[in-house]
């Protein structure tokens, strides 16, 4: 099969998929694209409606609770697994969390951080050798306190 034939066959498959996805009964390419455009506009309106419903529900709840990051701490054999997730990225949050680790005497053994649209941290912290034993709740409270002190 020639290159032109493969391209034409691929185009026909894509148009058939588009017809199926948009429930279109059109046969020519232009009509299928018009139907797809209408379908996309309908989806956008549905999304806007859902977002506005969620916005009214979200605005009635406490906004200060929504702004607090979610922090979980699990105890490992020698240290802790700390997860921090926030819907919004706050400048300095990583530094504040690392300072809290330092104050607790935790050494960061492994960490993954994402700060693009939201803030996400997964870190494994090990207790220093001359450190008193601390528990997961103390680590969680220290991280939350460090984040709250940023404001």
Number of domains in the chain: 2
Q: For 88-123, how does the pLDDT look when each residue is reduced to its tens digit (9 = 90+)?
A: 777 888 888 889 888 888 888 888 998 877 888 888
Structural domain includes residue 65 = no
The parent domain of residue 37 ranges over 3-58
Residues 46, 102: one domain?
no
The verdict on residue 64 lying in a domain is: no
Model confidence pLDDT, tens digit, residues 3-50: 899 999 998 898 888 888 888 888 888 888 888 888 888 888 988 888
**Helix (H), strand (E) at residue 14:** helix 3-22
Q: What is the DSSP string of 24-55?
A: ----SHHHHHHHHHHHHHHHHHHHHHHHHHHH
Are 82 and 53 found together in one domain? no
- Output the six-digit token pair for 87: 């819907």
């Amino acid at each position: 099969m020639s290159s032109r034939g493969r391209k034409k066959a691929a185009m026909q498959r894509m148009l058939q998929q588009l017809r199926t996805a948009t429930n279109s009964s059109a046969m020519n390419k232009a009509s299928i694209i018009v139907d797809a455009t209408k379908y996309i506009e309908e989806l956008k309106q549905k999304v806007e409606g859902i977002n506005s419903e969620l916005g009214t529900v979200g605005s009635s709840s406490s906004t200060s609770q929504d702004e607090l990051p979610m922090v979980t701490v699990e105890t490992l054999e020698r240290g802790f697994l700390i997860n921090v997730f926030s819907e919004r990225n706050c400048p300095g949050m990583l530094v504040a969390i690392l300072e809290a680790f330092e104050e607790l005497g935790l050494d960061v053994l492994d960490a993954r951080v994402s700060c693009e649209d939201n803030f996400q941290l997964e870190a494994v912290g090990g207790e220093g050798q001359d450190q008193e034993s601390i528990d997961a709740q103390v680590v969680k409270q220290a991280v939350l306190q460090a984040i709250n002190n940023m404001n």
